[in-house]
């Protein structure tokens, strides 16, 4: 007689897509590879090139490439704005100081989003970064 406290789950005909415990092309479990792929830009590029079959890892890698590109672009814009504000006579240092504060808040936001993505990937949950996730799904040819 089956144990009523711990019933055996029935096998599903179509298991949900997600991480697997078996190593992919990288030799790492899917959740570990996906979490490492969340390192903006560099981690994404490495795992997107190395992993050819695991859609879970490829999704997080592409999301990281796009997110890292946006973060890098923000860094360039932030630097240019800082230089522009410093070149304004008299009020320039005030505007530059405000811009540094705003820029630091945006960078903190980027860091929080990166950490959330890494934790979600490591736990095996597929999480779309707002605006970035749908672009990543489209790039890897995945339908929602």
Query: Buried b vs exposed e over 110-140: b needs ≥16 C-beta within 10 Å?
Result: beebbeebbebbbebebbbbeebbebbbeee
Distances in Å between the Cα of 83 and the Cα atoms of 30, 69, 96, 97 are 43, 21, 8, 11
Place of tokens 């995945």: 142
Question: Could you give the CA distance from residue 80 to residue 75 in angstroms, rounded to a whole number?
Answer: 9
User: Among candidates 123, 4, 118, which has minimal Cα distance to 61?
Assistant: 118
pLDDT of residue 91: 86
Tell me what the mean pLDDT of segment 39-54 comes to: 93
Tell me what the mean pLDDT of segment 13-30 comes to: 67
**Backbone Cα Rg of the chain:** 21
Tell me what the mean pLDDT of segment 76-88 comes to: 92
Question: Could you give the CA distance from residue 96 to residue 83 in angstroms, rounded to a whole number?
Answer: 8
Min mean pLDDT across 5-19, 36-50, 77-91 is at 5-19
pLDDT of residue 7: 53
Which of 18-27, 59-68, 88-97 is the most confident on average? 59-68
Mean pLDDT, the chain, whole residue set: 87
pLDDT tens, position by position, 95-126: 989 999 999 999 999 999 999 999 999 999 99
Q: pLDDT exceeding 90 applies to what percent of the chain? A: 66
């Amino acid at each position: 007689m089956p144990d009523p406290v711990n019933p055996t789950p029935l096998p599903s005909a179509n298991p949900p897509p997600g991480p697997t415990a078996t190593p992919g092309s990288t030799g790492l479990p899917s959740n570990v590879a996906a979490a490492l792929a969340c390192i903006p830009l560099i981690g994404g590029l490495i795992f997107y090139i190395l992993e050819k079959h695991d859609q879970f890892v490829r999704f997080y890698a592409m999301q990281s490439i796009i997110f890292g590109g946006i973060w890098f672009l923000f860094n360039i814009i932030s630097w240019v704005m800082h230089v522009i504000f410093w070149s304004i006579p008299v009020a320039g240092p005030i505007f530059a100081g405000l811009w540094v504060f705003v820029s630091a808040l945006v960078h903190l936001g980027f860091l929080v989003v990166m950490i959330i993505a890494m934790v979600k990937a490591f736990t095996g949950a597929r999480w779309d970064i707002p605006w970035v996730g749908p672009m990543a799904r489209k790039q890897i040819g995945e339908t929602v």
